[in-house]
């Protein structure tokens, strides 16, 4: 039958190939990859790269922090900013806070997202209160609703779970085929360092760095990997920021464990010197884990190049540099009182393209994998993440030579700053389609508020790795599957 849309003359990029082809779209799906496709509606992509629309799998949108500070971005501004940054799908968090049920949490986020998102979306469920009912009934119900990934924290007093609870959540995830994600930093080390720093009068933003030592990340990643290996189930270590953490991920993967690493642009382009800017300016650069140093940046690039990291995510956590966000506790707040996180959902991909692809550090297929394909596969977004027949027509057209300098105003988010202000980047997305619908075109938003859809995600595709478990934990040999699946 006739095509609804033909994208003509571009160069298609996938996680495996770069090739010349037109892309034919019908009813929101890619139905043809061929030469010289025609349709009533055509987009001229000559001179452009035809990329899978980005899948942003770590962002905080319309989410309260544990202490109750709401992100500046809602599902409208958050999804719009993501679209301008070349993303066609977002998977933010639905955060259970203590005392809340899981289903109640998901209903709350549906109310926030459905009327507002311009992009397709799903949620990772943050589990902060794993009661017996949550474990036995609510997590399975969340999974059945297409929420196939659970995130836990082992730090932040109001969010953190204990090791026993972590094991219980991993076991439920294993039973259902969900993937677990962990924010891994040792809570005691952070608390102990923070108290000593504050007692000595060291309260400025720069002390955020020593209050979150690299060793705190390394210890918690090591422990989390051991817990996941005991249960023998997949685990994503989010926002890895250290050499030690990256090495642990790499080693576990080489041993056959289903451990997946995620890292973020801030650890590649910012350092703790940014936390030491005058006055409270450093608060803009406070996130957890904290930004590190130049030597670490180079090491993380090697790990990105050589496959340690499956995911490259923004960790967009938009708290404005004013009394609604970072400065909610006043202009003299200590580093402990400043909301953690920084914005960057529109820059995740331009930063990787400019400094990765255009500087020869990664290839175009690696870019496609890190921007879309890996996240889609890992998190069960079956129809997204690649340019293939039958897949959703989620497509970003990129101009590889376009030069632009980063400004806060260009982010299309609800923020009043970007930590990447002034960076000169080459290579930008110019057109964005989601299920064949134009979202961004000619530098303008052309999508309707609320036109994105909830995506019920499938069981995670763990790319066929069988996993390994210690022989003494083999149920068949030792104790039967009723003790552990």
Q: Shortest gap between Cβ of 233 and ligand URP (angstroms)?
A: 21
Q: Which of 8, 29, 60, 174: binder of ligand URP (CB under 6 A)? A: 60
Site string for ligand URP, 145-184 (x = CB under 6 A): --------------------------------------x-
- Which of 263, 355, 311, 317 is CA-nearest to residue 54? 311
Cα–Cα distance for residue pair 45/22, rounded to 1 Å: 9
- Which of 478, 377, 373 is CA-nearest to residue 88? 373
In the complex with Zn ion, the residue whose CB is nearer, 61 or 113, is: 61
At 45, list the tokens.
């992509």
DSSP-based helix, strand, coil % in the chain, nearest 5? 35, 20, 45
Span from 162-170, 221-229, 266-274, 430-438 in contact with Zn ion (CB under 5 A): 221-229
Q: Which of 218, 252, 287, 439: binder of ligand URP (CB under 6 A)? A: 287
Asked if residue 341 binds ligand URP (CB under 6 A), the reply is yes
Binding-site partner at residue 340 among Zn ion, ligand URP, none, CB < 5 to 8 Å by type: ligand URP
Asked if residue 369 binds ligand URP (CB under 6 A), the reply is no
Q: Contacts with Zn ion: how many residues (CB under 5 A)?
A: 3
Cα–Cα distance for residue pair 387/14, rounded to 1 Å: 6
Binding-site partner at residue 222 among ligand URP, Zn ion, none, CB < 5 to 8 Å by type: Zn ion
In the complex with Zn ion, the residue whose CB is nearer, 222 or 361, is: 222
Asked if residue 183 binds Zn ion (CB under 5 A), the reply is yes
Q: Shortest gap between Cβ of 315 and ligand URP (angstroms)?
A: 5
Q: Which of 72, 317, 351, 397: binder of ligand URP (CB under 6 A)? A: 317
Asked if residue 241 binds ligand URP (CB under 6 A), the reply is no
Cα–Cα distance for residue pair 258/285, rounded to 1 Å: 32
In the complex with ligand URP, the residue whose CB is nearer, 315 or 392, is: 315
Q: Shortest gap between Cβ of 350 and ligand URP (angstroms)?
A: 20
Cα-atom radius of gyration of the chain, to the nearest Å? 22
Q: Shortest gap between Cβ of 185 and ligand URP (angstroms)?
A: 9
Binding-site partner at residue 435 among Zn ion, ligand URP, none, CB < 5 to 8 Å by type: none
Q: Where are the alpha helices (DSSP H) in 177-286?
A: 187-199, 208-211, 214-231, 243-254, 266-269
Asked if residue 374 binds ligand URP (CB under 6 A), the reply is no
In the complex with ligand URP, the residue whose CB is nearer, 156 or 301, is: 156
Binding-site partner at residue 61 among Zn ion, ligand URP, none, CB < 5 to 8 Å by type: none
Asked if residue 292 binds ligand URP (CB under 6 A), the reply is no
Q: Shortest gap between Cβ of 287 and ligand URP (angstroms)?
A: 4
Asked if residue 208 binds ligand URP (CB under 6 A), the reply is no
Q: Which residue is at the shortest CB distance from Zn ion?
A: 183
In the complex with Zn ion, the residue whose CB is nearer, 112 or 183, is: 183
- Which of 341, 347, 352, 335 is CA-nearest to residue 421? 347
Question: Which run of H or of E encompasses 212?
Answer: none
Cα–Cα distance for residue pair 193/209, rounded to 1 Å: 10
In the complex with ligand URP, the residue whose CB is nearer, 341 or 427, is: 341
Q: Shortest gap between Cβ of 288 and ligand URP (angstroms)?
A: 4
Cα–Cα distance for residue pair 268/280, rounded to 1 Å: 23
Q: Which of 222, 250, 336, 361: binder of Zn ion (CB under 5 A)? A: 222
Which position has the token pair 């255009």?
Answer: 358
What's the sign of the alpha-carbon dihedral 60, 162, 485, 237? positive
Binding-site partner at residue 202 among ligand URP, Zn ion, none, CB < 5 to 8 Å by type: none
- Which of 455, 270, 464 is CA-nearest to residue 376? 455
Binding-site partner at residue 287 among Zn ion, ligand URP, none, CB < 5 to 8 Å by type: ligand URP
Span from 15-23, 82-90, 128-136, 310-318 in contact with Zn ion (CB under 5 A): 310-318
Cα–Cα distance for residue pair 349/342, rounded to 1 Å: 16
CB burial string 239-251: b at 16+ within 10 A, e below: bbbbbbbbbbbbe
- Give the per-residue SS3 of 7-44: EECCEEECCCCEEECEEEEECCEEEEEECCCCCCEEEE
Asked if residue 315 binds ligand URP (CB under 6 A), the reply is yes
**CB-CB contact of 275 with 284 (8 Å):** no
Asked if residue 288 binds ligand URP (CB under 6 A), the reply is yes
Q: Which of 81, 180, 271, 340: binder of ligand URP (CB under 6 A)? A: 340
- Which of 37, 41, 74 is CA-nearest to residue 59? 74
Helices (H) and strands (E) in the chain, counts: 15, 21
Instruction: List contacts with Zn ion (CB under 5 A).
Output: 183, 222, 315
Instruction: List contacts with ligand URP (CB under 6 A).
Output: 60, 183, 287-288, 315, 317, 340-341
């Amino acid at each position: 039958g006739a095509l609804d849309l033909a994208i003509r003359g571009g160069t298609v990029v996938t996680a495996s190939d770069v090739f010349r082809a037109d892309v034919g779209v019908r009813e929101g799906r890619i139905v043809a990859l061929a030469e010289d496709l025609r349709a009533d509606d055509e987009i001229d992509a000559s001179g452009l790269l035809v990329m899978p629309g980005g899948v942003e799998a770590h962002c905080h949108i319309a989410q309260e922090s544990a202490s109750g500070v709401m992100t500046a971005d809602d599902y409208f501004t958050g999804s719009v900013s993501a679209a301008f940054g070349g993303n066609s799908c977002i998977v933010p968090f639905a955060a259970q806070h203590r005392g809340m049920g899981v289903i109640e949490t998901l209903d709350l986020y549906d109310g926030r997202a459905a009327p507002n998102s311009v992009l397709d979306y799903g949620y990772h469920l943050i589990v902060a209160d794993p009661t017996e009912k949550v474990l036995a009934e609510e997590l399975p119900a969340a999974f059945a609703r297409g929420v196939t990934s659970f995130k836990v924290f082992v730090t932040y007093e109001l969010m953190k779970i204990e090791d026993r609870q972590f094991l219980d959540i991993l076991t439920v995830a294993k039973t259902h085929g969900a993937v677990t994600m962990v924010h891994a930093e040792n809570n005691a080390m952070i608390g102990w360092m923070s108290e000593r720093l504050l007692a000595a009068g060291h309260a400025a933003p720069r002390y955020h760095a020593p209050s979150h030592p690299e060793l705190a990340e390394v210890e918690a990643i090591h422990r989390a990997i051991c817990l996941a290996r005991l249960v023998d189930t997949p685990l994503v270590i989010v926002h890895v920021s250290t050499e030690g953490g990256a090495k642990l991920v790499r080693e576990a993967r080489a041993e056959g464990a289903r451990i997946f690493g995620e890292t973020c642009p801030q650890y590649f382009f910012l350092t703790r010197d940014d936390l030491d800017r005058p006055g409270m300016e450093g608060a803009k650069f406070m996130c957890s884990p904290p930004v590190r140093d130049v030597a670490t940046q180079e090491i993380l690039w090697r790990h990105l190049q050589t496959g340690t990291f499956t995911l490259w995510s923004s960790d967009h956590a938009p708290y404005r540099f004013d009394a609604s966000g970072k400065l909610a506790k006043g202009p003299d707040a200590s580093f402990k009182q400043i909301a953690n996180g920084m914005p960057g959902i529109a820059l995740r991909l331009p930063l990787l393209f400019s400094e990765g692809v255009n500087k020869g550090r990664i290839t175009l297929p690696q870019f496609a994998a890190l921007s879309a394909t890996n996240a889609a596969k890992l998190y069960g977004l079956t129809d997204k993440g690649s340019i293939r027949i039958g897949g959703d027509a989620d497509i970003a057209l990129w101009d590889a030579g376009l030069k632009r300098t980063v400004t806060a105003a260009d982010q299309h988010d609800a923020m009043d700053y970007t930590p990447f202000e002034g960076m000169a980047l080459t290579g930008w997305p110019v057109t964005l389609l989601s299920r064949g619908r134009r979202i961004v075109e000619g530098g303008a938003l052309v999508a309707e508020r609320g036109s994105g859809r909830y995506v019920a995600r499938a069981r995670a595709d763990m790319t066929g790795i069988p996993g390994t478990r210690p022989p003494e934990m083999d149920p068949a040999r030792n104790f039967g599957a009723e003790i552990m699946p």
